[in-house]
Every structure is written in C-alpha cells, then in structure tokens.
Amino acid sequence: MKKLQTLTQASKYGNAFLARAIFRGLQGKWKIERKDPKTGLKEILGTTAFYPRYPTQLGYDSGYICKASSGEKNILDENFVYRLREMDNLIEVFGINRISGLRGNSV
C-alpha cells in the first residue's frame, strides 16, 4: 500500500516515471563535444555509447554500461554503470576503475 501511495503522489506532482523516461533516452551512441568559453568554438572530444544490461543487484530495474572514448589514450577512455531504480525515481552512476572495480561514489 505504501508503494501505491508513493506512486500516486509522484504522479500528482508530475515526476513519476521521469527517471525512467530519461534513462530510456540515454540508450545508443552519442557524440561528446564541448564549447570553448573564450572562442565559442565547439570541439569534438569523442563518443560515448550506452549498452543495455541486466542489473546485477537487487532493487534495480534496468542498467547500462556506458563506454566513453576519445581516440586518444587515457584522455576520455572511461566506463560507467548506470542503474535505474523506478520505485525511487532514481538513476545512479558509478565509475568503473579498470584495476579495482567500481569506484565508491554515485551520483
């Protein structure tokens, strides 16, 4: 009953399923670019791709492995795990350290 009340309240204020919609929109390959604040010119840094995966921890509904690469060694080559917990309308992001596994922080 508590879950139903939480969902009803979230629907009332318009934020139910927001995390799910954002999460679903991430899937695919993206170009990473930035704008130089001094010149206003855009610079292409590389690409990132979101690959769907089953969550490996209970309580999560969906997941992605995110692989970022720049073409230049060690500049942007990083991997992340994105996890969706629909009940809490929450997306968590964990950086993956190639040597020791998951980093301790989440966003």
- How many domains does the structure of the chain reveal? 1
Let me know if residue 33 belongs to a domain. Answer: yes
DSSP state of 87: G
Let me know if residue 72 belongs to a domain. Answer: yes
Let me know if residue 107 belongs to a domain. Answer: no
**Structural domain that includes position 48:** 2-102
pLDDT at 106 over 80: no
Residues 6 or more apart from 101 whose CB is under 8 A from it? none
pLDDT of residue 55: 84
Helices (H), 1-107: 2-12, 18-26
Q: How do residues 40-99 score in pLDDT, each as one tens digit?
A: 888 777 888 999 998 888 888 899 999 888 766 555 567 889 999 888 888 999 887 665
